[in-house]
Amino acid sequence: MNDASIIEMLWKRDERAVSEMKQSYEKLCFHVAGGILSHREDCEECVNTAYMDVWKSIPPNRPPSLKNYLCRLVKNAALNMLKYNSADKRSIEMALSLDELSECISDGKSIEDSIVAEQLGAAISSFLRAQPEKYRKVFVRRYWYSESVEEIAKFFDMNEKTVATYLFRVRKKLKEYLQKEGYISE
């Protein structure tokens, strides 16, 4: 079943929409949560929380992509659980990936309203769409799915140093792009 059909079912408050969502995206949701959390039970809780959040938020929201909307909710739930469980003791991979990106992207404290945050997200998406496919995929696996450099290298059958170089180059280009667009100052 496609996203539009599931969203329509949610809009009509048809409970079958949740099972359709599970059937379509459960594996992806667990992958997103698992990139942040180490315990399966925690991942399950985050995924179930995300399903409930989708149920509660549609309507009134009508996201253009259910997949992206659901993944964002799972990731947010996993990050919240990580904060709760570790009280600033993040997993090494998550901390490393966030530290790597911190030189390009603000921690959110200087962004005062959601409009600016949405514009920043759109700018990053636009930047990534302009990158070569492999660079884009490596970047997304590292910074969206929180995969280690080693995991990414295995997945793409690449050397770990090559993956690290790809990530360095894309971060550098992203920083330049965001500076040019006025999101960060030099």
Tell whether 16 and 65 lie within a shared domain.
yes
The label of the residue with tokens 């180059």 reads 169
Residue 104 maps to which CATH number? 1.10.10.10
Tell whether 126 and 61 lie within a shared domain.
no
Whether residue 47 contacts residue 75, with contact meaning beta carbons closer than 8 Å, is answered with: no
165 falls within a domain: yes
| pLDDT tens digit sequence for 105-133 | 555 544 344 556 677 777 888 898 899 99
In the three-class reduction of DSSP (H, G, I as helix; E, B as strand; rest coil), residue 145 is classed as coil
186 falls within a domain: no
13 falls within a domain: yes
* CB-based burial label for 82 (10 Å; 0-12, 13-18, 19+): buried
Domain of 57 in residue numbering reads as 3-86
List the one residue out of 178, 168, 163, 167 whose CA is nearest residue 104.
178
Residue 56 maps to which CATH number? 1.10.1740.10
**Which among 86, 102, 117 is the end of a domain?**
86
**Cβ-based neighbours of 158, under 8 Å, separated by 6 or more:** 152
**Which among 40, 71, 86 is the end of a domain?**
86
| pLDDT tens digit sequence for 160-176 | 999 999 999 999 999 99
Model confidence pTM above 0.75: no
Rounded CA separation 96/145 (Å): 13
Q: What is the pLDDT along the chain (186 residues), one digit of tens a residue?
A: 899 999 999 999 999 999 999 999 999 999 999 988 888 999 999 999 999 999 999 988 888 899 989 999 999 999 888 887 765 444 556 666 666 766 665 555 443 445 566 777 778 888 988 999 999 999 988 988 888 899 999 999 999 999 999 999 999 999 999 888 887 776
